[in-house]
Chains A and B, each alone.
Chain A
Amino acid sequence: MSRAPYVSINAETALLEILKAPVSTLQDFCLLAGKALANLFRAPHYWDDVLIQMDRIGVGSLPIICLTGGFSGAVMALQMSKALDTYGASSQVGQIVSITLVAQLGPVLTSLLVAGRNASGIASELGSMKVTEQIDAMRALGTDPVQKLVTPRMFAMTVMLPFLTVIADFVGMLGGWLVALGLIGTTSALYWRGVYDILVFADVLQGLIKPLVNGLVISLVGCYYGMATSGGTQGVGRATTQAVVVSSVWIFVINLFLTQLFVNL
């Protein structure tokens, strides 16, 4: 009987800790994001690191982005042509491929691939640095790790992801064109006119804003989990997984909210 209150207090404390953990994580994430953004406006700027990251994130991701974009466009054209054929509108396949890629699939797919490839890379790189005291050494040697490590990665990914998305969209349209030309029997002129005509400014803007926001979030999530790593090599593995999972979830959440915003424009 006398043990009951202790059990109750322990359970309360444990529950409180469980509830506090996500709030604390969000607070730390926002602090890191604030510092990284503020560093854009104060010296020193590590432009060499920015260029290296742009190369790793942008150029390094190109093959997988092109491959995925091309096959997505081709599959979409193939699948949609069947449905459109029912209404005798298979000539409209270019419009379907174009609007779906530019407004939705292009930004989401590209962001997911970059998250899988680069958020994991960033988290494991910074995580390894953290557990081997390289981050502490950087601080001891008078360098702000957020300025040196986080800001260049954030800037590079935010700039490169819209470019990658545009490339993925275009390669996807090319994939759709090949299918439309070879398997559906549409003419090139009809396909590309449909691709062009369907797009309005809001769609293009939506297709560029989404990767911009996604780039910011993916890079910061990767950096946050990397910088918060503890527990040796196991901790690095955990940080890498968390970075990919959390950034992927955020990509879908951001896509939903931004789509809602642009639909109502």
Chain B
Amino acid sequence: MPAPESILRFDGVSVIYDGVRVLDHVSFTLAAGETRVILGAAGAGKTVLLKTALGLISPDEGRVSLFNQEITGLRERQLFAIRAQVGMLFQESALFDSLTIEENVAYPLENQIGVRVDPAEVLPRVEAILKDVELGHTLDKFPNELSGGMRRRVGIARANVTYPKLVFYDSPTAGLDPITANNIMSLVIKQRDQRNTTTVIVSHRLQDGALMANYRFNSQSGKIERQRHTGALDTHTKFMVLQKGRLVFEGSEDELHASPDPYVAKFVLEQAQSA
């Protein structure tokens, strides 16, 4: 069986702000169809890692390759075509507050260089994906008229409306109550499994990773269902733990729980206790 295509590759990447290494020699490879859960405390460098992967931040050391193309040192305009294959949900959704929900979700379809959509198709596509995230009634509203959870769902819709091959989710459940957080995670899983999208999710909650690893969207029943824990499934979801910019763990969920690394063990234990 051939090895899956590499979609994202970090090779000794460091990002330095004011002399502090917010990413410190991080190396990993993300394969097509894989789900990668990046865990870590606040300030561990999770968001910086995602922004570096998308070329929004240039690394001070090392190389980043996205879809087999090295993006380190590329000009902003050269990055647009590569970014067209990637969707991203920002931490606070980052919706354009002067645009309606419809305009926000339509934005990548109408403006993204490298995305070609027939203008007649834009509205039906926007309506369909907003219905998918259970917000079909909010087209004319502005972001400030929605709750935090609803804004996050609009962000998920905007990240997926172009049907990207790779989607980054930056702390999709941060600051949300447990019920809303679980609803958001269901939508993330649904978007991932509907088109078999390669997914990278950053979170400080271990349970978000557990949901990603153990639940699948069943297109026939239209529901999120728990999967039997098998070796085959484990290869699709990998976990990484960042500590002060350093990658201290990379492996499966079982390996995470069995990790001898003191920081990882403490992180897992504290998360289990708080859950």
- Which A residues have a C-beta under 8 Å from some C-beta of B? 128-129, 132-134, 136-144
CB–CB A139/B112 < 8 A:
no
Q: Can you give 16 contacting A-B residue pairs, CB < 8 Å? A: A129-B96, A133-B92, A133-B94, A134-B94, A134-B96, A136-B51, A136-B90, A139-B56, A139-B83, A140-B56, A141-B107, A142-B114, A143-B112, A143-B113, A144-B77, A144-B80
Please, which residues of chain B bring their CB within 8 A of the CB of A136?
A: 51, 56, 90, 94
- What residue of chain B has the Cβ atom nearest to residue A136's Cβ? B56
Across-interface contacts of B158 in A (CB, < 8 A): 141
The A-contacting residues of B in range 71-121, CB under 8 angstroms, are: 76-77, 80, 83-84, 86, 88, 90-92, 94-97, 107-108, 111-115
B97 and A142 contact, CB distance less than 8 A = no
Which residues from chain A contact B88 at a C-beta distance below 8 Å? 137, 140
- Please name the residue on chain B nearest to A144 by beta carbon: B76
Cβ of A56 to closest chain B Cβ, rounded Å: 12
On whether the beta carbons of A132 and B76 are closer than 8 Å, the reply is: no
Which residues from B are CB-within-8-Å of A144? 76-77, 80
The answer to whether A133 and B91 have CB atoms under 8 Å apart is yes
Residues of B with C-beta under 8 A to A143 = 111-113
Q: How far is the CB of A192 from chain B (nearest CB, A)?
A: 45
Q: Residues of B at under 8 Å CB distance from A?
A: 51, 54, 56, 76-77, 80, 83-84, 86, 88, 90-92, 94-97, 107-108, 111-115, 158
Q: Is the Cβ of A142 less than 8 Å from the Cβ of B84?
A: yes
Quote the shortest CB–CB distance from A60 to chain B (angstroms): 15
Specify the chain B residue showing the minimal Cβ separation from A52: B98
Residue among A128, A129, A137 with the most chain B CB within 10 A? A137
Cβ 8 A contact of B90, one of A128, A129, A133, A142: A133
Verify A142–B113 contact, CB threshold 8 A. yes
| Min C-beta distance of B26 to chain A, whole Å | 20
In order of increasing CB-CB distance, the 5 nearest A-B pairs are A142-B112, A137-B94, A133-B94, A142-B80, A142-B113
Question: Which secondary structure dominates where chain A touches chain B?
Answer: helix
Q: Could you say which of B83, B92, B97 contacts A140, with CB atoms under 8 Å apart? A: B83
Q: Is the CB–CB distance between B111 and A142 below 8 Å?
A: yes
Cβ distance A151 to chain B, nearest Cβ, rounded Å: 14
Q: In the bound complex, how far is the Cα of B49 from the Cα of A76, in angstroms?
A: 61
Shortest Cβ distance from residue A228 to the other chain B in the assembled complex, whole angstroms = 15
Residues in B with CB closer than 8 Å to A142 are: 80, 83-84, 108, 111-115
- Besides the known contacts A140-B88, A142-B112, 5 further A-B residue pairs in the complex with CB atoms under 8 A apart: A134-B94, A136-B56, A136-B90, A142-B84, A143-B112
Q: Nearest chain A CB to B157's CB is how many angstroms away?
A: 13
Least distance between A10 CB and chain B CB atoms (Å): 14
How far apart sit A143 and B107, CA to CA, in the bound complex (Å)?
10
Cα A154 to Cα B92 in complex, Å, equals 29
Is B54 within 8 A of A140, CB to CB? yes
Report how far A215 CA is from B107 CA in the complex, Å.
Answer: 30
Return chain B residues, CB-CB under 8 Å to A133: 90-92, 94
Minimal Cβ-Cβ distance residue in B for A131: B92
Q: Which residue of A lies closest to B107 (CB)?
A: A141
- Contact with B108, one of A128, A129, A132, A141 (Cβ below 8 angstroms): A141
Which residues of chain B are near A139, meaning CB under 8 Å?
Answer: 56, 76, 83
Which A residues lie within 8 Å of B96 (CB)?
129, 134, 137-138
A141 touches B111 (CB 8 A): yes
Measured in the bound complex, the distance between the Cα atoms of B169 and A140 in whole Å is 13
Question: Bound state CA distance, A134 and B98, in angstroms?
Answer: 11
Q: How far is the CA of A162 from the CA of B109 in the complex (A)?
A: 37
Tell me the nearest residue of chain A to B170, going by C-beta: A133
A106 to B83 alpha-carbon distance, docked (Å): 48
A131 CB, min distance to chain B CBs, angstroms? 10
Closest chain-A Cβ to B259's Cβ sits at a distance in Å of: 32
> Closest CB-CB distance, B73 to chain A, in whole Å?
16
- CB neighbours (8 Å) of B76 from chain A are 139, 144
Q: Among A132, A138, A144, which residue has the most Cβ atoms of chain B within 10 A?
A: A132
Cα distance A138–B76 in the bound complex, in angstroms? 12
In angstroms, Cα B90 to Cα A144, docked, is 18
Judge whether A137 and B90 touch: CB under 8 Å: yes
How far apart are B151's CB and chain A's nearest CB, in angstroms?
11
